[in-house]
Every structure is written in structure tokens, then in C-alpha cells.
Structure 1
Amino acid sequence: MATAVSICSNALLSLGAKPFSDFSENRDHVTLCSNLFPTVRDSILRAHPWKCATKRVLLSPLVDAPAFDFTAQFALPGDWLRTVQVGLKGNSIPFRSEGRVLLADAAALPLVYIFRNDQPATWSTNLIELMEFAMAARVCYAVMTSTTLRDSMNAELQQKLKIAKAVDGQDDPPEEFEEGSFVESRFS
């Protein structure tokens, strides 16, 4: 079962450093991993609408309405990282994001979003592997003091991210376009 510690320990192992079993170990690389993991995790989770980090909620409006342009404002959930969809599928609601609120003309706001999933045990194996590599790339220079290796790992990270996103996206059925003049004109 994957944990933040196992992900960071595997990242260090891949760089030839000693593994560890607890973030409380008093070693420089362990402290570095402990400090950087939340930021790297959130960045990777924001990079794609991962199935294991997607939630649906129905937001209620706040008491205070915006001063103008919209009739209501809605507080984003505390674990929000990225908005995926506002409104129902095929019936989106115009909105504006300002700080930690969404502004819209609605009595209730359906929201699909990426949440801060801090339970690696619930992640897909591709996401776990990607996070191990992302952590290795992030701490590479501190561990290896090689800018060449750091740059190479960052380039490889971009490739691994593309692959992980593609695999994660293949779990859904293919998206179908609604009939209309545009689609019909392409196939007539």
C-alpha cells in the first residue's frame, strides 16, 4: 500500500540514496522530501482530472452576493485544487472564479473538481509511479548535485506525465459529439 513515505523513499532509492521509513528520521534528504511532497502532490494532481482525485458536489450560495455581474457566490471546498466542470454535463453554467469563490447566476451550483487526495493508497498505480518519479526529479539536484541529471529527469517527467494522463483517460468511454450542422458537414 502506497504512502507519502513510501513514495518519497522510493524516489530517494531511485537516485541511489538511502531509503527511510518515517518522515521523523533526522536526515537531510528525509526532511527535504517531507517538505516538498505536499507541493509536488498538489501540482501533479492539478495537472490532470485524475479519476482518483475527482469529486462532485452541489454548492449552496454564500449569504453575501457579489456587488455586480453575478447574483450569487459559492465558496470552493476546502480540498479544492482545480475546477473540472461547473453545471451539469451538457448544460454548463457561466461562472467566474475569484479567489476561493465561484461567482454565478444560480440558486445551487453543481461542481466537479479535483480534490487534494492525500491518501496515496487510493491512487492508481500510474499516478503512484508518476509521483515517485516527480519526487525524484524534484529532489534530484539536492541529492545528486547534477544539473544535467536534473534536466534529464524533468524532461522524462513530462513524458511520464503524458503517458499517465493517457492511461487515466482511457478508463472512460469515448466522448461522443452531439449531432449538429458542424458534425454533419464533416461527414457528408
Structure 2
Amino acid sequence: MSMATGVSICSNALLMLGAQTINDFNDQLNLDRAKLCANLYPTVRDDMLRQHPWNCCIKRAVLAPDAAAPAFGYEHAFELPADFMRVLEVGTAGQQIDYLVEGRSIQANTTVLELRYVFRNEVESTWDSSLVKLVTLAMAAVLAYPVTQSAALQQSLGQELEQEKRRARAVDGQEDPPQMLGDERLLASRFGSYW
């Protein structure tokens, strides 16, 4: 794990652009850059966290139904956790259930909902170093034009960001065991073994 913070990620992005760093998001000496970072960082962070199920940003929760049932379609609604960003799995492994995400709730025909999800991990020191590097590069790409007035630099950093995303996702995904998708009987029949 890293010793990163939101401020250190933004400062490193500024360094990549050849600009002076900030000490915090209210830095009076570099107020313009600090305000720019404070405004852009939460959006960039959340976007990067939502794009991929980073192992350091996954949680599980067991949700109880809300008192009020949906008007139609499903029997129960379940309020999503406050730090929820993206559904990964609903139901226990191998036993998926039908559900629908609407607004800040999940609707399903069950009385208890097991949820595996991407959460808004705002503790950067718990992030994988690849994710820290990726968010730093994303901040540099977003800050490039406002700080340097160079569209070419912004485009170059955007291309580097896309390459880094592929690498970081591959590294993160290698830690997970292979998962079976769909009906295992179909796969078995394809290879000649029937149940």
C-alpha cells in the first residue's frame, strides 16, 4: 500500500506538468492551483474508482429492505450504502438474483440482499500503487490545459492515461481467481462431458 493522499496525488500531477506543488487544498500560496485541484480531484477520483473493480475498493454488505415497497415490479427496495459507486454482484456466489438499480436503491424480490460493490474509497493510503499512479496521471491530464495552456500536452497525457489504464487493470485483475460465467453445463457439454 502507498502513503498517498489526495493532496500528494494532485501535487505529483502538478510536478509532472512542471508546476509548483500544493501543500493542501486551501494552500494560500498557490490558491489558484489548490482550488483547481480541490474542484477536479473528487470527480477524477470517483471516475477512476467506478471504471474498474479495483480490489482495494470492493466491499460487501447485507441490506435489509426499506419499509416502503416499490409501487410495482419488485417486492422490496433496498437503500444503497452511502459509499456505493457500482454494483459488482447481487446474491450469493452461484445464486444470482434478478434486481434493478434505481436512483439510490436496489429493487429485488428477496427479503435480504447480499451486495458486493465498488465503494468510494477516500483513503488513498489503502490504494494499490497502480491505482495511485493511474489517478495521478488522470489528474495531470485534466490539469494539463488549465495549468500549461498546452492542448498538445493534454492530448499526450490522455493517450498515456489510456495505456496506463490497460496495464493497471490487467495487474489488478491478475490477483482474482478465474470465475465461471453462465451455465457450467453448457461449457461442459461443449468439451464433451455431460452431467
- Correspondence for 1:136 among 137, 140, 143: 140
Deviations 1:147-167 (A, max 9, x none): 111112112211111111110
Distance apart, 1:176 and its partner CA? 4.4
List structure 1 segments (4+ residues) > 3 angstroms apart after TM superposition.
176-179, 181-184
Partner of 1:14: 16
Q: What is the rounded CA distance, in whole Å, between the counterparts of 2:6 and 2:57 in structure 1?
A: 16
Checking the alignment, whether the CA contact within 8 Å between 2:22 and 2:33 is kept in structure 1 is no
Partner of 2:79: 75
- Correspondence for 1:48 among 52, 71, 74: 52
Number of equivalenced pairs: 188
Distance apart, 1:174 and its partner CA? 2.4
* 1:187–1:16 distance in 2 versus 1, CA, 3 Å: farther
Unaligned 5+ runs, structure 1: none
Deviations 1:54-95 (A, max 9, x none): 000000000000111100000000110111111111111100
Distance apart, 1:124 and its partner CA? 0.3
TM-score normalised to structure 1 length: 0.95
RMSD (Å) for aligned C-alpha atoms: 1.4
Partner of 1:87: 91
Q: What is the rounded CA distance, in whole Å, between the counterparts of 1:146 and 1:184 in structure 2?
A: 57
Partner of 2:169: 165
TM-score normalised to structure 2 length: 0.92
Distance apart, 1:18 and its partner CA? 0.7
Partner of 1:5: 7
Deviations 1:84-135 (A, max 9, x none): 1111111111001111011100000000111110000000000000011010
Which piece of structure 1 moves more, 103-112 or 21-30? Answer: 21-30
- Correspondence for 2:189 among 176, 179, 184: 184
Distance apart, 1:184 and its partner CA? 3.2
Partner of 1:57: 61
Q: What is the rounded CA distance, in whole Å, between the counterparts of 1:142 and 1:187 in structure 2?
A: 60
Distance apart, 1:183 and its partner CA? 3.8
Q: What is the rounded CA distance, in whole Å, between the counterparts of 2:184 and 2:85 in structure 1?
A: 33
Once the two structures are superposed, the pairs formed by residues 108-147 of structure 1 within 5 Å of their partners are 108-147=112-151
Deviations 1:27-52 (A, max 9, x none): 21121011111111000000001111
> Percent of pairs identical after alignment?
46
The one-letter amino acid paired with 1:182 is L
Q: What is the rounded CA distance, in whole Å, between the counterparts of 1:93 and 1:123 in structure 2?
A: 31
Q: What is the rounded CA distance, in whole Å, between the counterparts of 1:101 and 1:87 in structure 2?
A: 15
